[in-house]
Structure 1
Amino acid sequence: MSIVSPELAGETPYIWRARQPQSRHRLICFPHAGAGATAYAEWAALLPPEIELVAVQLPGRQDRIAEEPFSEVGPLVSVLTHALRPVLGGSYSFFGHSCGAALAFELAKALRAKGQTGPEHLFLSAQAAPGATGIRQLHDLSDDEFRDAMLTLGGIDEEIANDEFVMDSLVPVLRADFSLWERHRTAPEAPLDCPITVLAGEEDPQAPKDSLDGWRDQTNAEFTLRFYSGGHFYFLDSPGIVVSAIAEKVLGAVAGRTA
């Protein structure tokens, strides 16, 4: 009998989910700058049935393109602590790529501050650790320079890159996201108690190797650093390898708790 993969579908303005009734764990994913929940659509078929995929949809993209993106981190995180409550129960982890990694980290801290159960594991991808220096700031570049920087980083389909109308709509959202997170300074707080796994491309100019080890100071639990071939969007080249590594970590921890 063939197995039909679940489809990622919108359930609320902020929550897209690929429902897995038999799942034991939920992986909640935060997309990179300018991207929407469907950046993780392919993962629904790659994850084992024990893990349910949730992707976060933020204002200003895809079906929420008419809405203004957030301009401050505090209000964004505050809204998400409420908007994501339907998926924050039981066993779950966060995955975030680039700006999405910074958001996942801030949300984990906010949940702790509220006395709520946080993620069992943080997977932070292509994001320099808090306080890292020497990272090129992109949000205040001229329009032409900013567009060139986005295309150089990658992650934009060739069809979109060649469509001036679409790019004209996308660039302001990208700039808003980069401005939001490049201006943000995370408050110094006690380390989290959940394990942190940092994933990065070997040749990523926005998250170079020497900018990543600082994440070690943000957890009292296990810290793992993994590198993959590629640049800032390494995970788009080999999603199966990345998803398998995440599933192995997650299911090993779940099995350990139930043994």
Structure 2
Amino acid sequence: MIPLENELAPESPYIWRARRPSATHRLVCFPHAGAGAPAYADWAGLLPPGIELIAIQPPGRQNRIGEDPFTEAGPLVEALTHVLRPVLDLPTAFFGHSAGATLAYELTRALRERGARGPEHLFLSAQPAPGESAVRRLHELPDDEFAAEILSLGGIDEEVAEDEDVMEAMLYTLRADFTLWERHTVEPGAPLDVPITVLSGESDPRAPLGEVKRWGEHTTAEFQTQFFPGGHFYFLDSPAEVVSVIGRTMLAPATHRRSA
């Protein structure tokens, strides 16, 4: 069965795509901790016609629930440098939310180091820049405290939160992802030459304003910030507005402007 044009569907273990044969650009989205490609299913119908949506599906969720989540960033980044190459033949941007932002950044660095084609723009959402952070680390908390912290951030449907079996499976993957990324250290290196746009909620306790603005130190190209009403999952409250900002930025002529 051929997916509809705006339907995000699996193409391979890692790649879900909403095919647009006439697209001139691609947006590759990296999910937050515990989430998978379906987190971006609604974006396909919100993007401008010239942008094709691709979402990454890590192991340990949805159709890959039987696979163990990654425990180290290096092997995950290495796998993605290979599986994404066939879809980087058009001008592409990466969007990553929370831990997905760090993954998008590390993957961009890895592609550059290999001399491979990478994204032409990075959209990094709700994630402090590498370095010292005042954000509370969650992965070592007892189960009840960990669950309470996760639920306080939002982003989980009430029906899911009330289903003990579903929550147990979700919390296993969430803890694995938090353990991976809270233990991960970004190695020092030269700044990228890729424009970065930071997006975040104005009242997000896990993305302090000063810490997300430090992403500007990691590029020599254009740097901008865009803040929205809401908390850590601001993009679930106003997806059309967020996707509109991304679409306009991707299709706009390149500039060298930096703003904070």
Q: TM-score, normalised by structure 2?
A: 0.95
Where do 1:18-167 residues align within 5 Å? 18-167=18-167
Deviation at 1:21, TM superposition (A): 0.9
The one-letter amino acid paired with 2:193 is D
Cα distance in 2, alignment partners of residues 253 and 79 from structure 1: 32
Deviation at 1:253, TM superposition (A): 3.3
Deviation at 1:65, TM superposition (A): 0.4
Where do 1:177-256 residues align within 5 Å? 177-253=177-253
Q: TM-score, normalised by structure 1?
A: 0.95
Cα distance in 1, alignment partners of residues 132 and 192 from structure 2: 18
Q: Percent same amino acid at aligned positions? A: 62
Cα distance in 1, alignment partners of residues 64 and 77 from structure 2: 18
CA spacing shift, 1:132–1:199, aligned 2, 3 Å = farther
SS of 1:52's partner is: strand
The one-letter amino acid paired with 1:149 is E
CA spacing shift, 1:241–1:132, aligned 2, 3 Å = farther
Deviation at 1:5, TM superposition (A): 5.0
**Tell me, which stretches of 5 or more residues in structure 2 are unaligned?**
256-260
Cα distance in 2, alignment partners of residues 49 and 224 from structure 1: 24
The one-letter amino acid paired with 2:91 is S
Cα distance in 2, alignment partners of residues 236 and 213 from structure 1: 22
The one-letter amino acid paired with 1:144 is D
Cα deviation 1:18-77 (Å, max 9, x = unaligned): 001111100000000111100000001000110000000000000000000000011110
Cα distance in 2, alignment partners of residues 6 and 225 from structure 1: 28
Is the CA contact 1:132–1:214 (under 8 Å) kept in the aligned structure 2?
Answer: no
The one-letter amino acid paired with 1:140 is E
CA spacing shift, 1:90–1:5, aligned 2, 3 Å = closer
**Aligned twin of 2:169:** 169
Is the CA contact 1:26–1:53 (under 8 Å) kept in the aligned structure 2?
Answer: yes
Cα distance in 1, alignment partners of residues 206 and 6 from structure 2: 33
Deviation at 1:136, TM superposition (A): 0.5
SS of 2:95's partner is: strand
Cα distance in 1, alignment partners of residues 59 and 41 from structure 2: 18
CA spacing shift, 1:183–1:172, aligned 2, 3 Å = same
Deviation at 1:94, TM superposition (A): 0.1
**Tell me, which stretches of 5 or more residues in structure 1 are unaligned?**
none
Cα distance in 1, alignment partners of residues 188 and 254 from structure 2: 30
Cα distance in 2, alignment partners of residues 254 and 198 from structure 1: 17
**Aligned twin of 1:13:** 13
Cα distance in 2, alignment partners of residues 39 and 82 from structure 1: 23
Deviation at 1:236, TM superposition (A): 0.2
Cα deviation 1:187-213 (Å, max 9, x = unaligned): 111111110000000111111112111
Is the CA contact 1:70–1:76 (under 8 Å) kept in the aligned structure 2?
Answer: yes
CA spacing shift, 1:254–1:8, aligned 2, 3 Å = farther
SS of 1:42's partner is: helix
**Runs of 4+ with >2 A deviation:** none
